[in-house]
């Protein structure tokens, strides 16, 4: 296949060629970045939470005004919930993952440290917390019932209660004590006394987007037994995921009966799967939007190539007729146009890659994205080559169908 004639022809139709090249370049750049964003969001959506999500339901409630009896009421609540049929375990805590509010505390390795080592979220738990959430202990042990401290005692003015033990996540253990056994070591967070790590769980994600990609699992569990007035989150684990709705309803009825002057926050009371779906709605919309834009871009680019190629074929009808008269086969005419398109697409893709990296640099600066991995470039390139070839097929076939007799006509 002689490239020289193709290049000469293209040089004479500089404008149209430039347009095709630019269009492919811009499409390539946008599509590469869009696909990268899609994969980032999907990674984000598929993050491991550490919870047994399909077995959990959450009820959030609140009292009206102060409740001086909240500690006792919470205890009876939990007893009633744990006794419900279909319930494996239940706990009360100050915060849950997949919501926008969180308790966070800075963590220091030494008492007088000026800059904190990291910021971690604080889950206040009783001894049923780990079993209720379905967390997996990979080192150490759970809290014993004698280690638990009442929140009211701890939070009272001038109380000097030290929290003796804490359970942290593996991510946090790796950051605080890299390469070492975390169980048995201590750090400082709440109060003036050190807390000793007694257990490490494999995963426990933080609420909200605290911590970004690096710190999204910096969580610690403190043995503080909270009454329902602190956060009001009852988390119930069921034995059979198919009975979740039934158990949720029963739980709401039980809690209402147990403490009649309380309000169940219906917007926040649902299964954990629903909670996570609601929380990640934004990411999912973005993924769909990006997919739609990619498809639309490909369609628009394809149509553009079809339009311009048709025009070219029409312009060069006499030229094609002459070539056919001189003995060129249909296949040769077809291949001519395909090669021409391939060359333009190559040029467009090269330009597009550079533009893609440029756009990625901009996004990195403004939206905290990592660098575009090299994998996307060949994928984008192949996609656009294929697109170009498919688009030019129709007009090229029409060109190949030009009969040689056209060459001898004078109009």
Partner 1 sequence: MFAYYFDLALRSFRRNKALTALMVLAIALGIGASMTTLTVFHVLSGDPIPNKSRQLFVAQLDPASKDGYIPGEEPADQMTRFDAETLLRQHRGVHQAMMTGGSAGIEPQQAGMDPFYADARYTSADFFQMFDAPFQYGNGWSGREDDKHERVAVIASDLNKKLFGGGNSVGKALRVNGHDFRIVGVLAPWRPTPKFYDMYNDRFGELEQVFVPFSTSRDLEMDRSGSMDCWDDHRDNDDPEGEAGVNAPCTWIQYWVELDTPAQVSAYHQYLVNYSDQQRASGRFERPTNVRLRDVMTWLDVNKIVPGDVRLQLWLAFGFLAVCLLNTVGLLLAKFLRRSSEIGVRRALGASRRAIFAQCLVEAGTIGLVGGVLGLGLALLGLWAVRQQPNSYNALAHLDVTMLLTTFLIAIVASLLAGLLPAWRACQVAPAIQLKSQ
The residues binding partner 1 (CB under 8 A) are 15-16, 19-20, 22-23, 26-27, 29-30, 34, 37, 62-66, 106, 113-116, 155-160, 190-192, 261, 263, 265, 278, 281-282, 285-286, 289-290, 293, 296-297, 300-301, 303-304, 307-308, 310-311, 314-315, 318, 363, 366-367, 410-411
Tokens describing residue 318: 């006499």
Residue in 168, 170, 172 with CA at minimum distance from that of residue 211? 172
Distance of closest approach, residue 60 Cβ to partner 1, in angstroms: 10
Residue in 181, 187, 139 with CA at minimum distance from that of residue 163? 187
| Cβ-contact 143, 165 below 8 angstroms | yes
Cα gap 223→149, rounded to integer Å? 6
Distance of closest approach, residue 293 Cβ to partner 1, in angstroms: 6
Toward partner 1, which CB reaches closer, 41 or 225? 41
Distance of closest approach, residue 184 Cβ to partner 1, in angstroms: 25
Toward partner 1, which CB reaches closer, 199 or 352? 352
Q: Which residues contact 148 (CB under 8 A, 6 or more apart)?
A: 126, 127, 223, 224, 225
Toward partner 1, which CB reaches closer, 282 or 329? 282
Toward partner 1, which CB reaches closer, 310 or 339? 310
Toward partner 1, which CB reaches closer, 15 or 46? 15
Other CB atoms within 10 A of residue 114 CB: 5
Toward partner 1, which CB reaches closer, 87 or 308? 308
Residue in 230, 378, 392, 380 with CA at minimum distance from that of residue 311? 392
Tokens describing residue 84: 């419900």
> What is the CA 299 to chain-centroid distance, rounded?
27
Q: Which residues pair with 118 in a beta bridge?
A: 107
């Amino acid at each position: 296949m002689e490239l020289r004639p193709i290049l000469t022809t293209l040089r004479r139709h500089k404008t149209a060629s430039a347009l095709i090249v630019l269009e492919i370049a811009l499409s390539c750049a946008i599509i590469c970045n869009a696909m990268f964003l899609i994969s980032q969001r999907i990674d984000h959506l598929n993050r491991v939470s550490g919870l047994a999500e399909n077995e959990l339901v959450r009820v959030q409630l609140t009292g009206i005004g102060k409740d001086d009896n909240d500690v006792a009421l919470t205890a009876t609540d939990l007893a009633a919930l744990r006794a419900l049929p279909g319930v494996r375990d239940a706990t009360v805590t100050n915060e849950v993952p997949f919501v926008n509010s969180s308790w966070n505390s800075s963590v220091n390795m030494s008492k007088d440290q000026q800059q904190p080592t990291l910021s971690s979220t604080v889950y206040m738990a009783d001894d049923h917390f780990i079993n209720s959430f379905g967390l997996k202990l990979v080192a150490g042990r759970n809290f014993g019932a004698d280690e638990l401290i009442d929140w009211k005692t701890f939070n009272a003015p001038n109380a000097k209660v030290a929290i003796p033990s804490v359970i942290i996540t593996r991510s946090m253990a790796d950051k605080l004590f890299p390469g070492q056994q975390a169980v048995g070591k201590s750090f400082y967070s709440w109060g003036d006394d050190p807390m000793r790590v007694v257990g490490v769980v494999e995963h426990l994600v933080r609420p909200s987007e605290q911590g970004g990609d690096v710190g999204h699992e910096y969580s610690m569990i403190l043995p503080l037994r909270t009454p329902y007035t602190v956060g009001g989150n009852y988390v119930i684990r069921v034995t059979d995921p198919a009975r979740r709705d039934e158990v949720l309803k029963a739980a709401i009825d039980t809690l209402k009966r147990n403490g009649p002057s309380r309000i169940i926050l219906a917007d926040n009371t649902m299964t954990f799967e629903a909670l996570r779906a609601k929380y990640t709605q934004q990411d999912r919309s973005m993924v769909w939007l990006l997919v739609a834009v990619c498809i639309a871009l490909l369609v628009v680019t394809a149509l553009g190539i079809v339009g311009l190629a048709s025009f070219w074929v029409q312009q060069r009808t006499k030229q094609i007729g002459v070539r056919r008269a001189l003995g060129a086969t249909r296949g040769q005419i077809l291949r001519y146009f395909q090669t021409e398109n391939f060359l333009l697409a190559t040029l467009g893709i090269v330009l597009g890659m550079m533009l893609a990296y440029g756009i990625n640099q901009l996004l990195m600066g403004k939206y905290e994205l990592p660098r575009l991995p090299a994998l996307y470039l060949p994928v984008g390139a192949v996609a656009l080559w294929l697109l170009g070839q498919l688009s030019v097929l129709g007009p090229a076939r029409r060109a190949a169908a030009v009969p040689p007799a056209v060459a001898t006509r004078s109009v």
